[in-house]
Amino acid sequence: MVQLTAVFLFASVLTIAMGTPLIKRDMATIQADITNISSLLVTWDNDVNAFAGTTDGAAAIHDDSVALESAFNTAITDTQATSNFSTDMDGLLVLGQIENSSTILVGGLTQIAVKGANFTSINETSAIMSDLATLGAAATGLIAAIGDIITDQEVVAQATQLETTWSAAFGDAISDLQTGL
């Protein structure tokens, strides 16, 4: 777990270093980014559920993961180029939109862990663990970035709670896969 945290931190620092805001963005941009993330998550989850231990199946999940990570990173860049939300409602609305995908995300991660032996049988366990580590850093990085533009501390606390939930879900899936190695 200690090592995992280090990976998350390192990736987060990288994300922040690369996400220098040049053009101002707004809430509508962030919401459009999250809508894209939600739809990419559905595709990823469908491929995770369909996975039955083939290399093609693993490749589909990998491609989905790369696209998702890129979409999360775009959303982070856009969020960092956005001024603080002007009302608490705006922050709650955006958090609600992200939270809406939580069930799918956590469900997909659980399925990946359940199918650990299927990944191992095609020697894809290290690859999927590595994908989950970078995807987890991007996903939790977005929630952290959103927390940074929320002014009200109680709403920030809600963002932090969601970030903790996601971080734990990724951590659990990765450690379950590790156990199966």
Ligand X SMILES: *[C@@H]1O[C@H](CO)[C@@H](O)[C@H](O)[C@H]1NC(C)=O
DSSP string of 127-151, one letter each residue: HHHHHHHHHHHHHHHHHHHHHHT--
Would you give the binding string for ligand X spanning residues 52-91, x where CB under 6 A is met? Answer: xx-------------x--xx--x---------x-------
21 contacts ligand X (rule: CB under 6 A): no
Report helix, strand and coil shares of the chain as percent, to nearest 5. Answer: 85, 0, 15
Query: Which of 65, 82, 118, 140 touches ligand X by CB under 6 A?
Result: 118
Query: Do residues 132 and 69 touch, judged by C-beta distance below 8 A?
Result: no
Biggest CA–CA distance in the chain, Å, is: 51
User: Does the protein bind ligand X through residue 100 (CB under 6 A)?
Assistant: yes
Task: Say if residue 99 is exposed, middle or buried (CB neighbours under 10 Å; 0-12, 13-18, 19+).
Answer: middle
Helix (H, G, I), strand (E, B) or coil at 25: strand
Binding segment (CB under 6 A) for ligand X, from list 11-19, 123-131, 135-143, 162-170: 123-131
The residues pairing with 82 across neighbouring beta strands, listed in sequence order, are: 25
In whole angstroms, the minimum distance from the beta carbon of 177 to ligand X comes to: 12
Which listed residue (49, 55, 123, 164) binds ligand X by CB under 6 A? 123
Q: For ligand X, which residue has the nearest CB?
A: 117
92 binds ligand X (CB under 6 A): no
Residues lying near ligand X in the complex (CB under 6 A): 36, 52-53, 67, 70-71, 74, 84, 96-97, 100, 117-118, 121, 123, 126-127, 148, 150-151, 156
